Structure 1
Amino acid sequence: MKVKQYEKKDFAWTKWGAKEMKKLAPFLLEEKKKAYEKIKQILKEERTFDNTVRAIESSGDKTGDNISIIHLLMEVSPSKDTRETAKKVIDKFQKEALDVEFDEGIYKALKEYETGNFKKEKAKLDADDIKLFGDMLRDYKRMGFELDKKDQEKLKNNLKNIGSLGIRFSKNINDYEDHILLSENETAGLPASFLKMLKKDKDGRYIVTLDYPDFYPFMQNAENAKKRKELVDKSLKKGGKDNLSLVSKILKLREANAKLLGYKHHGDYKTETRMAKNADNVLRFLKDLLPTLSKEVKKEIKELADLKARITGDKKAKIEYYDLLYYSNLLKKEKFNIDNERVREFFPLEMVKNGTFEIYAKLFSVEFERMRDYPTWHKDAELYAVRDGGEIIAYFFMDMHPRVGKYGHFMATEVISGREDMISGEYVAPVACTVCNFRKSSKGSPSLLDHSEVETFFHEFGHVMHQVLTKARYVSQSGTSVTRDFVEAPSQMFEEWVWKEEALSLLSGHFKNNKEKLPEDILKNMMASKRHMIGYFYARQIVIALCDMMMHTGASKETPNEVYNNLTEKYLHIKMPRNNMWLAGFGHFIGYDAGYYSYLWSKVYAMDMFSIFEKEGLLNAKTGADYRKLVLEKGSSEEEMSLVKNFLGRKPNNKIFLKEIGIIK
């Protein structure tokens, strides 16, 4: 299938500002409205897959592209006016789109096709066509089309409110700013390279913000416990009180809609379409793992407390919530002779990026080409083309450094979804974007990553590959449009590469001389440190997942923040400050609702799939080609369990996962 090629003018959207968004906003839904009217006019006996099911699927393709673009600009535009306008446009669009989508005539059209010509056409349809139709029917039922008019209207209004409140919740997090100030005598333990990158106030004090590149190095290295506490306390207020209020409102609306649709709770509603199938399966999965892991965490926390007692001279020393990263880092240095700042020297950002490109290129037989002089929203953003056999098949952006108002964590997002154009028959080249927040290079101070940041980048680029290598014909099945509890599996699998010497030789190179690779002693110690605090790492994921699922199943009468505090104290053996607002800054509350468990659920499949690469070779092009063809290209055009089985050549199992997290020794 011929892939549509883009020119510079096709990326003019990167320069959209408030003016362009306001001009476009009134017309965003026109394409879909016209398509729906045409679909509804078709007689029952004339309905076909193409003029009904496929027509519904493709009716919002261009609209979807535009909304994805506006949503991306809301997260990355350097202009506050543009970000504010994007928020308003999306908020208005979501409400108006619900009115368009809740069209009884479209549901009737689907039912007419189901009871009519579908039976005649079914034998000639491809498997992805049949899955598309089945998923579409299911999703329309989940929109409440079998409810009476009054309840359906209530459901729709609730969804509108959830959308508006969710946008506000996310924006509150992105816009939240705070910092602490450090005098020179409060900088003990902080590397000179870190201090050099910090801004100063008019009195010459260092400014340490809540941004990722400031927060973690500070918490890992600052000897001053009072200042560590000050920074964490500010971080635990991220999002503000407004977000706590929004959580309460959104939870009530989600619960009300689940009950209207006949579900026990929102947890069951969300998991019905995922691999887990229901909330009870999720809770069982999490609770079965936690007791064993908690015992391991108890040992780990005691080891940190013993270290603190030895350093401070306080025999009764306890690990506080603001101590964890600091003493964990100290213990890592002591046990494995690993100095993160020394390790950073071997991971300059450009070297890591180029090494990542080389590894993925070898695995999937593609090439990455920097598209210079193309428009972008900011000078830090870069555009790349993906070539296969010399032909461009996709594009992706990279926006690597933090700035005011930008999304503050790490993500990979689809901007234009790959799909077969219903009219031209061409394949619409997908466009993806990875958003990171690595410290920017400055004169004499290159951007250097620690090993965990290398792992994060490799993970996010795995998502990009999933998005740009898709060959799915339909948007709803394209790229990472898979079930929430599978979407992380491909990227989690790729994390394992950064723990292997073969891959690290490509990813590392001293910032002064890239040919100088990680010394053997550092490499050996890094490998040995992989399981450092692993009990805490996975137990914390489970605690957050339990908190998420419990607030969406009504499993506790406590507030969600109280649930989090109590679970943290019981299973992680850390007492949180009483009035913290952790939940206000929990970005996964929007988009990952009743879905945080997915990180662990998908890890089961990730570790099992990695075993094939480990056996056949990390850079084995044939294994990479099989994985590309059987998993990445498919999207959700087949059931996710089938994708895994086909790649493994057997049923998946959890043995490698349980060994990885320490349940099986």
Structure 2
Amino acid sequence: ARLLGFASWADYALADKMVGTAASASAFIDRVVAASEEAAERDYRALLQRKRQDRPGATGIDRWETGYLRELVRRSEYDFDSQQVRPYFPYERVRAGVLDLSARLFGVTFRRMTDPPVWHPSVEGWEMLEDGELVGRFYLDMHPRPGKYGHAAHFRVRTGTTDGALPESALVCNFPGGKPGEPGLLDHGDVETFLHEFGHLMHSLLARQRWSGVSGVRTEWDFVEAPSQMLEEWGWDPRVLGRFARHHETGEPIPAELVGRLKRATDFGRALDMRTQMSYARISLSLYDRPPAQVNTDSIVSAVTRAYTPVPPMEGTHMQASFTHLNGYSAFYYTYMWSLVIAKDLFSKFDRKDLLAPEPARRYRRLILERGGSAPAARMVEEFLGRPFSFDAWRSWLETGS
């Protein structure tokens, strides 16, 4: 980095991102931390109060307790158990719903391949068509098996170009189901994940430029998550969910009232999660924005965690050793939140009363998705919004949930 004139690896790594410099990334992290401080403290007090019902006199919460306590608060304060929605999300219906939603929004159709060249018998091959013409292919490897990649991700198989190279992508996930007679009941987080990864897939298939280097999802790294994060929004709309989320035994559509309770319960703890994510972003940046001789990873992790979250670090666990993003992302873990700020702003241009309206979705496809990385992301976003992106929509979501 220094040979190329940069003060640190962080500055070098961020030079081709939307944020531009390590100083700008640091300022962004500080802004998110400040915005979420009051709500995070409120979330923490609610968790501590619930813990004191079982352990009077408790003065703090340990990291391994947070998920358990959050579920207890959701049940007692929001009348919601995360298992209540699973019967409405059998895998086959969710898959059909995601495909139907994407077809309606972006003006395409999907056709399952009869004999696709796949790497395992459980993998499905699909074709994407527009006006009857084949314009892309994708593969769905959606259920766990021994030795398989254990997370959820979109992978490019081939980048499409305007000279005839057909885009191909694959989704590799680990959702329930895939066995005869098993409904494969997803939780709502799985539905969000499906939409998120399919957002990447649609971006990859729709963006066909002359050069492969700017086709598909080859845009600035701190923008690439925005289209996938935005598609998650459709998974919270009762009218959209009602089209495919049906009880696997009775066929009853998911009640709008249950979706409302799901959303209110999920909103609880968001700010605390945000502070945790920003602690990861600060750790990521801090390990790369200074000379290596000044980097003590244990000290940085401990200091940042204590400064950013009310839940203390688990000393001696060396979490950074399993923080795999420090390798692939190096200094720019902030990108997830940066993209989310943009995604919330992009979503503000859609009609909340009719999220299936085609006009804003087709305009979004034309001005954002189809262009891939052929123009700076900031310019594409500004052309879609009619102004530079702002924090306003994100802040409203943080404070009110909408």
Q: TM-score range, shorter-chain basis?
A: over 0.9
The answer on whether the counterparts of 2:143 and 2:178 sit within 8 Å (CA) in structure 1 is no
CA drift at 1:613: 1.1
Tell me the CA shift for residue 544 of structure 1: 0.7
C-alpha contact 1:459 1:491 (8 A) present in aligned 2: yes
Over the matched positions of the two proteins, sequence identity in percent amounts to 32
Q: In the alignment, residue 413 of structure 1 is paired with which amino acid? A: F
- How far apart are 1:549 and its partner, in Å? 0.6
Q: What is aligned with 1:592? A: 329
Q: Structure 1 residues 336 and 664 mapped into 2: Cα distance closer, same or farther (>3 Å)?
A: closer
Supply the AA of the counterpart residue of 2:296: T
- Whole-angstrom distance in 1 between the partners of 2:243 and 2:291: 48
Aligned AA for 1:582? M
CA distance in 2, matches of 1:461, 1:542: 25
Report the equivalent of 1:523.
259
* Corresponding position of 1:535: 271
Distance 2:3 2:229 in 1: 36
Aligned to 2:161: 419
Contact 2:91 2:176 in 1 (8 A): no
- In structure 2, C-alpha distance between the alignment counterparts of 1:664 and 1:526, rounded to whole Å: 12
Partner residue of 1:95? none
The answer to whether structure 1 residue 574 and structure 2 residue 318 are counterparts is: no
Deviations 1:493-520 (A, max 9, x none): 111111111221124111113x311123
What is the letter of the counterpart of residue 14 of structure 2?
Answer: T
Alignment deviations for residues 527-586 of structure 1 (CA, whole Å, 9 cap, x no partner): 323421111121111111111011110289452343223322332211232111322222
Question: Shift of residue 476 of structure 1?
Answer: 0.7
Partner amino acid, structure 2, of 1:478: S
Deviation, 1:324, is 0.9
Compute the RMSD of aligned alpha carbons.
2.1
Which amino acid is 2:373 matched to?
A: S
CA contact under 8 A between 1:498 and 1:504: conserved in structure 2? yes
Residues 293 and 539 in structure 1, CA contact (< 8 A), matched pair in contact too: yes
CA-CA distance at 1:475 after TM superposition: 0.8
> How far is the alpha carbon of 1:295 from its aligned partner?
3.5
**How far is 1:397 from its partner?**
0.9
CA contact (8 A) 2:85 2:187 kept: yes
Report the secondary structure of 1:609's partner residue.
Answer: helix
CA distance in 1, matches of 2:97, 2:3: 51
Instruction: Give the aligned residue type for 1:286.
Output: I
Alpha carbons 1:306, 1:317 under 8 Å: kept: no
**Structure 2 Cα separation of the partners of residues 270 and 637 of structure 1:** 20
In structure 2, relative to structure 1, the CA distance for the partners of 1:653 and 1:291 (3 Å cut) is closer
Match of 1:439 in 2: 176
- After TM superposition, the structure 1 = structure 2 runs for residues 311-330 of structure 1, keeping only pairs within 5 Å, are 312-316=54-58, 318-330=60-72
Helix, strand or coil for the counterpart of 2:349? Answer: helix
1:392 to 131, 134, 138: 134
Partner residue of 2:98?
356
* Partner of residue 133, structure 1: none
The 3 A distance-change label for structure 1 pair 309 and 444 is: farther
Following superposition, the deviation at residue 444 of structure 1 comes to 5.5
Return the alpha-carbon distance in structure 1 between the equivalents of residues 148 and 401 of structure 2: 41
Whether contact under 8 Å (2:6, 2:12) holds in the other structure is: yes
In 2, the alpha carbon distance for the partners of 1:397 and 1:379 equals 12
Contact 2:287–2:295 under 8 Å retained in 1: no
| TM-score, normalised by the number of residues in structure 1 | 0.58
Whole-angstrom CA distance in 2 between matches of 1:413 and 1:355:
21
Q: Against the structure 1 CA distance between its residues 393 and 618, is the aligned structure 2 distance closer, same or farther, given a 3 Å change threshold?
A: same
1:293 aligned partner: 36
Alignment match, 2:196: 459
Aligned counterpart, 2:17: 274
Larger Cα Rg: Structure 1 or Structure 2? 1
1:391 offset after TM fit, Å? 1.1
Corresponding residue of 2:238 = 501
State the one-letter code of the partner of 1:272.
A
Higher helix share: 1
Closer, same or farther: CA 559–403 of 1 in aligned 2, 3 Å: farther
5 Å matches for 1:553-632?
A: 553-554=289-290, 557=294, 559-614=296-351, 617-632=354-369
Aligned residue among 449, 454, 475 for 2:212? 475
Specify the alignment match of 1:145 in structure 2: none
Structure 2 residue identity aligned to 1:389: D
Aligned to 1:429, which of 166, 169, 179? 166
- Aligned mate of 1:639, from 376, 380, 388: 376
Q: AA paired with 2:240?
A: A
> Which secondary structure state, in structure 2, belongs to the residue aligned with residue 512 of structure 1?
coil
Per-residue Cα deviation, 1:425-457 (whole angstroms, up to 9, x for no partner): x42110011111223355664211111221111
Displacement, 1:380?
Answer: 2.3
The 2-side partners of 1:555 and 1:290 are apart by 25
Q: Distance in 1 between matches of 2:79 and 2:401?
A: 27
Asked whether the 8 Å contact 1:376–1:382 carries over to 2, the reply is yes
Partner of 2:84: 342
Q: Deviations over 1:160-213 (max 9, x none)?
A: xxxxxxxxxxxxxxxxxxxxxxxxxxxxxxxxxxxxxxxxxxxxxxxxxxxxxx
Q: Provide closer, same or farther for how the CA distance between residues 291 and 477 of structure 1 changes in structure 2, counting only shifts above 3 A.
A: same
- After TM superposition, list the pairs within 5 Å mapping 1:146-165 onto structure 2: none
> Residues 488 and 579 from structure 1, CA distance in 2 versus in 1: closer, same or farther, beyond 3 angstroms?
same
CA offsets, 1:317-341, max 9 Å, x none? 6321111111111111222211111
Conserved? CA contact 1:294–1:572, under 8 Å: no
Tell me by how many angstroms 1:663 deviates.
9.8
Correspondence for 2:221 among 484, 490, 496:
484
| Residue ranges of structure 2 left out of the alignment (5+ in a row) | none
